[in-house]
Amino acid sequence: MKKLWTLLLAGVVLQACQKSDDEASGPLQNDLLKKTTGPAVVGDRMEFAYALGTLEGQLKEVRVEATIAGGTGTGFSRYSWYTNRNTGVDQPVQTASDTTTTGAVSTASLLGGENQSAVTLRYYYAPTEEAKGRDVRFRFSGTSSTGKEVRFESPAYRISRMDMKRTLQLTDGAKAYVSIADMAVYTKEEVERNNLAAKIDFVYLYRPTLSGFTFGHAWVAPSRSEYLSDVSLPAGLTTRTLMDKRVDVKDAQLRGTAGFDVYIDDIDLERTTFTNASDYAFGLTADQGAFVKTANGAYAAYVYVNAVNNTEKSMTVSIKRLQLN
Amino acid sequence: MKRHYLFILLGLLALSCTKMPIDETGLLITTRSQCYMTFFDLLGSDHRTVLVSGQTKIDTEAQTVTAVARFGTNLQRVKPYCSVVTDAIVEPTMGIWTDYTQPQQYTVVSGNRTVRKTYTVTVTLQQ
């Protein structure tokens, strides 16, 4: 019985000697959440939520240093967000008086005041061409009016090697010649004037029916002449672009809307096989697309259909592209 | 009477311990000898059927399947699927990208693995 009491006493002493978490980390604490779930692609922004809270004084300033300087759009937002309990809608609250970004460093001066002892600021990072294929890290820090400082080192995030171009407008008989190498659409005149025949991967056309069968909106490589018999092509078009139609790959970044969590990443374009793939895709409607490989094997891409218009014979597409060699 | 129940119980136990044979892929070999195909489908690269509805014919006597693919189907890259009678298997395995520009042959093997019937699948394009 005596031994049991001794053990209990030892346990109580040990427990008393352990520092609580709050005591160990001090009155100023911070945490980081990466909100963006998709790949970091040039042309899109990564979003972080950096949270700070202090038990002494008010919050004064936050700072972040990226290992690679971001592009236009990089920096803190002056607003935090809260959910209105009556409406369920997220609403902004201004929490920073001033935000600046110089090179790789972004700062935000907080408004201060009696109630500003906890904030969650949004930080956006826009990857640049220079960052492609490289890892980027972020060193966040925050200070309080009592002179205390906390830091948070983010893990490394790989920036995608893909290029992305959104909302290219295609029109049957006009801007109908798509070049994956240029991520652009041309007219017949532009192709001829600038000698772009070798760069044209496919032609956009809209025919409700062809040979009596349903056809619709289509992408046809110049090599597939039977579907282009009534199209006056620019001289010199011969490429055989490989295409694999998909109806279920609604890439959130190409779609440009929240709520979708499907993403084409580098690995998808690297590993997509085109064995026996066709050189056309037709019957395309909004939210569909096709994996595409250029005839010279230089690029693999996913071309996504944002919208189609039967009356205007037009289509809006967005492209993610990866250079393979 | 008590002993009678004991024998029944022992008999059931012995039966439950009997091992049913399995083939090299882990599928159960049963006693069924029926051997035929009941359904055939072909999917395009977008994983949707490419076959014209109502034009697929399975002849279990001639052991042929004829189907018509929609206008514009790339028959070089399609994925076949089929249904067979209970416990039967198909060789080679379907569900992989296959070139159907030429007729393809698949063998249906019965549940007891003793009856084998080779089906020739021919797909033509809608003209």
Among A214, A275, A280, select the one facing B97 at the smallest CB separation. A275
Chain B residues within 8 A of A283 when measuring between CB atoms: 72
| Confidence check: pLDDT of A19 > 50 | no
State both tokens at B29. 């070999």
From A276's Cα to the closest Cα of chain B, the distance in A is: 6
Does the distance separating the beta carbons of A288 and B72 come in below 8 Å?
no
Chain A residues within 8 A of B71 when measuring between CB atoms: 210-211, 213-214
Q: From CA A165, how far away is CA A54, in angstroms rounded?
A: 43
Q: From CA A202, how far away is CA A218, in angstroms rounded?
A: 9
Binding-face residues of B in 19-58 toward A, CB within 8 A:
44-48
Q: What is this structure's pTM? A: 0.85
Domain ranges of chain B: 38-125
CB A141, CB A28: distance < 8 Å:
no
Would you give the end-to-end CA distance of chain A in angstroms? 77
Complete domains list, chain A, with CATH: 28-160 (2.60.40.3550), 172-323 (no CATH)
| Confidence check: pLDDT of B6 > 80 | no
DSSP summary character for residue A286: T
CB B91, CB B75: distance < 8 Å:
no
CB B40, CB B69: distance < 8 Å:
no
Q: From CA B69, how far away is CA B100, in angstroms rounded?
A: 10
Mean pLDDT, rounded, for A221-243:
94
User: DSSP labels for A189-254?
Assistant: HHHHHTT-GGG--EEEEEEEEETTEEEEEEEE-TT-GGGSTTS-PPTT-----EEEEESS--BHHH
Confidence class of residue A42 from pLDDT cuts 50, 70 and 90? very high
Mean pLDDT, rounded, for A23-48:
89
DSSP H helices in chain B: 2-17
Closest CA to A116 of A124, A108, A128: A108
ipTM of this predicted complex? 0.79
Instruction: Indicate if the alpha-carbon torsion angle A299, A305, A310, A311 is positive or negative.
Output: negative
pLDDT at B8: 66
Q: From CA A309, how far away is CA A206, in angstroms rounded?
A: 9
For testing the chain B interface, which of A278, A279, A282 should be mutated: the one with the most B CBs within 10 Å?
A278
Between A291 and A16, residue with greater pLDDT = A291
Q: Over the Cα atoms of chain A, what is R_g?
A: 27
**Burial of A189 (C-beta count, 10 Å sphere; 0-12/13-18/19+):** exposed
Second CATH level (architecture) for the domain B38-125: Sandwich (2.60)
pLDDT in tens, A61-75: 999 999 999 999 999
Confidence class of residue B17 from pLDDT cuts 50, 70 and 90? low
State both tokens at A171. 């029109």
From B120's Cα to the closest Cα of chain A, the distance in A is: 22
| Confidence check: pLDDT of B19 > 90 | no
Mean pLDDT, rounded, for B58-79:
96
